Chain A
Amino acid sequence: MSEYTLLAIACGLGTYVWRGLGVAVSARVRPESELFAWIGCVAFAMLAGLISRVVLIPSGALEHTALWQRLAATGFALAAYFLFTKKNLFAGVIASAAAMYLILLLS
Chain B
Amino acid sequence: MSSPARSGFRQGLLHAAGIPAMVLAAGYVGFGALAAGHGLSLAGTLLSTLLIWALPGQLILVEMHTLGAPFLAVFLTVVFSGARFLPMTVVMMPLLREARGRPVHYYAAAQFVAMTGWAWTMARFPDMPAERRLGYFFGFIAVLMASALASTALGYLAGDLLPPMAKLAFVFMSPMYFLLLLAGGTNDARGYLAIVIGAVAGPLMHFVAPQWSVIVAGFVGGTLAYAAHRMWKKGGLQR
Contact = CB atoms under 8 A, between A and B. Distances in A.
B59 interface: yes
Query: Chain A, interface size: which category?
Result: 35 or more
Nearest to A26: B93
A9 B57 CA distance: 12
Given A2-B44, A3-B71, A48 B196 contact: yes
Contacts of B38: 59-61
Contacts of A10: 71, 75
Contacts of B177: 89, 93, 96
A37 B226 contact: yes
A62 B181 CA distance: 21
Interface string A1-38: 01111111111111111111111011101010000111
Contact of B198 (A45, A77, A104): A45
* Secondary structure call for the B interface: helix
Contacts of B65: 3-4, 7
Contacts of A21: 86, 89
The secondary-structure label for the interface of chain A is helix
Interface of B: 19, 22-23, 26-27, 30, 33-34, 37-38, 40-41, 43-45, 47-48, 50-54, 56-57, 59-61, 63, 65-67, 71, 74-75, 77-94, 103, 106-107, 110-111, 113, 164-173, 175-184, 186, 190-191, 193-203, 205-206, 213-215, 217-226, 229
28 contacts: A6-B71, A7-B61, A8-B51, A8-B52, A11-B57, A11-B78, A14-B75, A16-B111, A18-B82, A22-B88, A23-B93, A36-B87, A41-B191, A41-B193, A42-B80, A45-B224, A46-B198, A48-B221, A51-B179, A52-B202, A65-B172, A70-B172, A77-B180, A90-B19, A94-B26, A97-B170, A97-B172, A101-B166
